């Protein structure tokens, strides 16, 4: 349905939902702020690559991220034990690209009424994917029923679909660094940056939301994560500064979709 990366198919790519038989169209329209037509959708459109400006403070993401919080509210409303289980499962997925791809395909197929092809996965991997769906409130009796399947909690399913699709758009290297950031418990600080950054991208190190970044080891990992997502991050004696690289395209926003998803699941 959606594609946050311009000139790339899959994931977040959204075709027209008007008149669609897709059961979650109304829900996904709430996330339409993430969509811009690109060269794959419309060769004439030329503005998509400029959605996020070059050399800009992360504060330019604020408006989009405000709406993103709403999209991930179903995660926030989950019982704590289910939040922890989903968070742990997603952290493990970050280190297994083939599982991310398979899970995205599975969610896409459920949405469109198709039957997912699990033949290339090992039995244990198939079980892991089914376990993930059960955490989303999905009850599956057999693969033969996949094409008839509809999620019990469509908003929760929508949030998970959005997060998995964003994860699948990031590089393997970025996902490894993201997993490290989860382990280092810096996700909350990263989610705060766009909200507290000044017009030039600076945030005082004395600011409580970014206190964890004063540790050099943590900062180095975050710096590499941001660099892999077209964001420059630098630290001086008194502040950190995060600005987009030249022609960052959609990648900084894709990263923040994932960060906000993990944060909504209690990633502290």
Q: How is 65-118 classified by DSSP, letter by letter?
A: HHHHHHHTHHHHTS-HHHHHHHHHHHHHHTT-HHHHHHHHHHHHHHHHT-----
- What is the three-class DSSP state of 26? helix
**Residue range 53-85, pLDDT digits in tens:** 999 999 999 988 888 888 999 999 999 999 999
Beta bridge partners of 234: 241
33 or 189, which is more confident: 189
Q: By percentage, how much of the chain surpasses pLDDT 90?
A: 52
134 or 174, which is more confident: 174
| pLDDT-wise least confident of 91-95, 143-147, 180-184 | 143-147
Residue 243 binned pLDDT confidence (cut-offs 50, 70, 90): very high
Q: In the prediction, which pLDDT does 177 show?
A: 98
Return mean pLDDT, the chain: 79
Residue 140 binned pLDDT confidence (cut-offs 50, 70, 90): low
Q: In the prediction, which pLDDT does 125 show?
A: 78
Alpha helix (H) ranges present in the chain? Answer: 25-29, 62-71, 73-76, 80-93, 97-112, 123-135, 154-169, 172-183, 187-196, 216-227, 251-264
Residue 247 backbone zone (phi > 0: left; psi -120 to 50: alpha; other: beta): left
Q: Where do the domains of the chain lie?
A: 56-139+147-265
**Residue range 206-217, pLDDT digits in tens:** 999 899 999 999
Q: In the prediction, which pLDDT does 138 show?
A: 74
Nearest of 205, 200, 24 to residue 107 by alpha carbon: 24
pLDDT at residue 228 above 70?
yes
């Amino acid at each position: 349905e959606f594609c946050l990366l311009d000139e790339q198919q899959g994931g977040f790519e959204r075709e027209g939902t008007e008149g669609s038989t897709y059961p979650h169209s109304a829900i996904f329209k709430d996330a339409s702020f993430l969509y811009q037509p690109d060269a794959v959708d419309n060769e004439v459109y030329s503005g998509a690559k400029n959605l996020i400006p070059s050399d800009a403070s992360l504060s330019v993401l604020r408006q989009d991220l405000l709406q993103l919080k709403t999209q991930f509210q179903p995660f926030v409303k989950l019982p704590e034990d289910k939040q922890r289980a989903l968070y742990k499962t997603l952290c493990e997925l970050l280190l297994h690209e083939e599982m991310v791809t398979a899970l995205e395909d599975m969610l896409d197929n459920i949405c469109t009424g198709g039957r997912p092809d699990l033949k290339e996965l090992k039995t244990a991997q198939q079980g892991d994917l089914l376990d993930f769906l059960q955490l989303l409130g999905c009850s599956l009796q057999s693969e033969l029923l996949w094409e008839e399947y509809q999620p019990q909690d469509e908003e929760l399913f929508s949030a998970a679909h959005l997060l998995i699709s964003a994860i699948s758009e990031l590089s393997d290297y970025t996902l490894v660094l993201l997993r490290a950031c989860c382990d280092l418990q810096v996700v909350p600080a990263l989610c705060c940056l766009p909200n507290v950054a000044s017009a030039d991208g600076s945030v005082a190190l004395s600011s409580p939301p970014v206190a964890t970044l004063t540790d050099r080891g943590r900062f180095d990992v975050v710096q590499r994560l941001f660099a892999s997502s077209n964001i420059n991050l630098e630290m001086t004696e008194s502040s950190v500064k995060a600005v987009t690289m030249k022609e960052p395209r959609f990648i900084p926003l894709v990263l923040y979709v994932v960060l906000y998803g993990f944060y909504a699941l209690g990633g502290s």
